Amino acid sequence: MDLLAADELCEEIVMTEQFATVIPLPAPVLLPINGETASFPVRRVYCVGRNYADHAIEMGHDPSREPPFFFQKNPNNLLPNSDFPYPPLSSDVHHEVELVVALKSGGSDIPAERALDCIYGYAVGIDFTRRDLQGEAKKLGRPWEVSKAFESSAPVSAIAPATQVGHPDKGGIWLMRNGESVQRGDLSQMIWKVPEIITELSKLFTLAPGDVIMTGTPAGVGPVARGDRISCAVDGVATLMLNVV
Ligand code: MN
């Protein structure tokens, strides 16, 4: 073996050790991007609760501007453009159509006037919720995970880069179930706007590239059933269609 080969071998061993894992490395969660071959790697998924007044009212709450509250889903709960498998242990799974924000940068205590600079792009997604389990959790003062962070609970469209669609703060957001309009709202009805959401979240967490935020749902949430055909969109941004299977 000559010296060069030994060096190469040495490098190879270092690389192998660096990435050695005792179990298979978990697959990265990658979302497709409109007009790009490269994809968007997901780090965390944050969700905003009750961010449209008419939805807060339909859930029995006062839509006054109380501070926003947050919960999380898991990155691998995101389901890019695919069928939604009806989850176990629930008989009341609801659709919540939402504007999805994908971050390219982050930080702590981000001022609202700099928040839009952190955004890579936007998508439309559905925050599927086991409403029966959520109701039970609320009643018992328990966390929402089992109702929110289940497998495939967040189908999401391809990401539209902000360089293509800008930073939408008004425009239709809607969902149809089997051809019938069930959710219809406007981004301008959001109680906490996207820059404010980023500011508030960054007080609680250190945001980073790859973080995804689901920004809340307008009124009209309701149950889905196996066999349903769901289509939804944020007008001018993205469309998503799926079957409940
Ligand atoms: Mn939601």
Summarize pLDDT for 24-79 with one digit per residue, the tens: 999 999 999 999 999 999 999 999 998 998 887 888 887 777 788 999 999 999 98
For residue range 145-182, what is the model confidence (pLDDT) as tens digits?
A: 999 999 999 999 999 999 999 999 999 999 999 999 99
Q: Is 31 exposed, middle or buried (0-12, 13-18, 19+ CB in 10 A)?
A: buried
Residue 7 has pLDDT above 60, yes or no: no
- Report the separation in Å between the CA atom of 96 and the middle of ligand 1, taken as the mean of its atom positions: 6
Report the separation in Å between the CA atom of 161 and the middle of ligand 1, taken as the mean of its atom positions: 22
Quote the CA–CA distance of 124 and 86 in Å, as a whole number: 20
Instruction: Report the C-alpha gap between 35 and 81 in whole angstroms.
Output: 16
This prediction has a pTM of 0.91
- The two structure tokens encoding residue 112: 């609202």
pLDDT at 9 over 90: no
Q: Are 223 and 189 in contact (CB under 8 A)?
A: no
Please give the distance, rounded to the nearest whole angstrom, from the Cα atom of residue 183 to the centre of ligand 1. 13
Whether residue 209 contacts residue 103, with contact meaning beta carbons closer than 8 Å, is answered with yes
Q: What is the pLDDT of residue 164?
A: 97
| Residue keyed to tokens 């944050």 | 46
Ligand 1 centroid from CA 217, angstroms: 5
- Per the CB < 8 A criterion, the answer to whether 214 and 154 are in contact is yes
d(C-alpha 72, C-alpha 80), whole Å = 18
Domain ranges of the chain: 29-243
| Fold of the CATH domain 29-243 | Fumarylacetoacetate hydrolase; domain 2 (3.90.850)
**How far apart, in whole angstroms, are the C-alpha atoms of residue 48 and residue 69?**
6
How many angstroms is it from 145 CA to the middle of ligand 1? 13
User: What would the pLDDT profile of 114-153 be if each residue is shown by its tens digit?
Assistant: 999 999 999 999 999 999 999 999 999 999 999 999 999 9
Instruction: Show the tokens assigned to 121.
Output: 């792009």
Structure tokens at 228: 């349903």
Residue 214 CA to ligand 1 center (angstroms) comes to: 7
Distance 149 CA to ligand 1 centre (A): 11
- Segment (H or E) for 31: strand 30-31
State the pLDDT at residue 17.
61
* Cα 85 from Cα 77, distance rounded (Å): 12
Express each pLDDT in 189-238 by its tens digit.
999 999 999 999 999 999 999 999 999 999 999 999 999 999 999 999 99
Interval between CA 97 and ligand 1 midpoint (Å): 7
- Residue 62's pLDDT is 77
207 and 107 in contact (C-beta within 8 Å)? Answer: yes
* pLDDT tens readout for residues 83-116: 999 999 999 999 999 999 999 999 999 999 999 9
Distance (angstroms) between ligand 1 centre and the Cα of 148 equals 9
Ligand 1 center from residue 126 Cα (angstroms):
8
pLDDT for residue 16: 55
Ligand 1 (ion): residues with CB under 5 Å are 96, 127, 217
